[in-house]
Chain A
Amino acid sequence: MSDILINIKHKHYDSTQHDTIENLKFSLPSNEFICLIGPSGCGKTTLLNIIAQLDNDFEGEISQDGQALHPNIGYIFQNPRLLPWRTVKENIELVLNQGQSFNCVNLLLKSMQLEESKNKYPEHLSLGMSRRVSIIRAFAINPKILLMDEPFVSLDAPTARQVRELLIKLWLQRPHTILFVTHDLREAITLADRLVFLSPSPMSVISEIKVDIARENRNSENEIEGFRQKLLQNYPEINDLL
């Protein structure tokens, strides 16, 4: 499968004077794990919404082989967005493709420690649990592209680490393209193949940096910290973004 090209010339909201996104260009090689890093309010969520085709009001194109994009997209929103009137199980079942069985979802529920809560309604869950349900929902459809908008915010540290490990495990098992928005440089280095740094509004790409730490060494604090220090030294402008 060839790369997905993202080329947004202009995107602006009626409520603001200047563009939210201007000349933003980068490519998503298939099956790569990309972290987007930028200051808050710079337009990262807007970018994800454009890629997910929730927002079609922009100048430019998102294409693959010169064609418009029609893949199966999993989107983990900043807030969980579960249907409060459906149980955890029903919320996940609703997104499954026809013929897909709930068995694989059971495994996911187990690894996220949600098996006992599967018949509960979202309002009876903690925010952390709801977030995990929304993560399972996105995994469940076996997406070609997975969009994640700061998905681990408000998870406690051990759970966040667990979910991060699960994410990588699933991704290695079944390769797909991941676009991951975060503020946390350490988290980004731990997860990504490539970091894309974004400028404040109007948003565009400042730099793209490959993370060349082998997957098996990603658990090592030293490797991650070393990479981070080097990065901040070589690209001092990154400091302003964080």
Chain B
Amino acid sequence: MNLNKTLSSFSLLLFILIWHGMAFFVNDNTLPSPVIVVEVLWKEVVSGELPRHLGITLQRLIISFSIAMLLGCAIGITLGINKKLNAFFDNWLVIFLNIPALVTIILCYVWFGLIESAAILAVVINKLPNVIVTIREGAKALDKDLLEMATCYKFSKTKTFIHVIWPQLHPFVMAATRTGLALIWKIILVVELLGRSDGMGYQLHLYFQDFDVAHILAYTVAFITVIQAIELLILKPMDQQAIRWRR
């Protein structure tokens, strides 16, 4: 365990060293050294610009993620349980899965205008099919023996859902959450870049026009930090909680 920790700190250190070395070697504004990036990051944090835009992006992330997960779970479970509905909607799902993210974003802005809800909708549409497909697989594999047990012992619908169905779906929900966060992070930036005047995507767009790589990297570092924090503080504990019954 301790060795693993040492190894992982060492690998991080090595990464920063290589970055530093390359920056030193290239000696150009297009690849600033880690020290410069940290300085810029600090300046942006203190000025309040970075927290503001990061906050706005995070808010969009939370809203669209919640909508996509709730809808996706509901639809996924329905399709997983009902074979006829699944046979009918399977084609739709394949179509939505294969529409490029950029196309959905453009269409949403064209049809609904450059407004906040269109941005959220674009993200949701991109994420939703993935959630549905993942949860559907979980719902298809529900243990029939346990469901029979629940029927026999007259569990109510809510009770069956909480105690019999949800724990079986949990690993699938976690999978959908992880892939979902990764996907939404990336899409949300494009959404902001194309049609919003605030948020991380918008800022990155501005710095791109100036070829200001130090700022772009500073924002990236802030980004990665937030994702890691979500993983460590929210997702990991949820995993631990859910697997304590396992052997």
Contacts and interface: CB of A to CB of B under 8 A. Distances in A.
Interface of A: 49, 52-54, 72-73, 75, 77, 79, 81, 83-86, 94-95, 121-124, 137, 141
B145 interface: yes
Contact of B163 (A53, A72, A79, A86): A86
A215 to B, nearest CB: 29
B163 A94 contact: yes
B167 interface: yes
Contact of B247 (A77, A81, A83, A124): A124
Given A81-B145, A124-B247, A73 B152 contact: yes
A85 B242 CA distance: 8
B120 to A, nearest CB: 34
19 contacts: A52-B152, A53-B151, A54-B152, A73-B152, A75-B149, A81-B145, A81-B146, A81-B148, A83-B146, A83-B164, A83-B167, A84-B245, A84-B246, A85-B167, A86-B245, A94-B153, A94-B163, A121-B245, A123-B247
B159 A94 contact: yes
A91 B38 CA distance: 53
Contacts of A77: 145, 148-149
Contacts of A81: 145-146, 148-149
A41 B164 CA distance: 28
Interface of B: 145-146, 148-149, 151-155, 159, 163-164, 167, 242, 244-247
Contacts of A53: 151-152
Nearest to B147: A54
B155 A123 contact: no
Of all A-B residue pairs in the complex, the 5 with the closest CB atoms, nearest first, are: A121-B245, A85-B167, A95-B153, A123-B247, A81-B149
User: Which among B146, B152, B247 has the greatest number of chain A C-beta atoms within 10 A?
Assistant: B152
B145 A79 contact: yes
Contacts of B247: 123-124
Contacts of B148: 49, 54, 77, 81
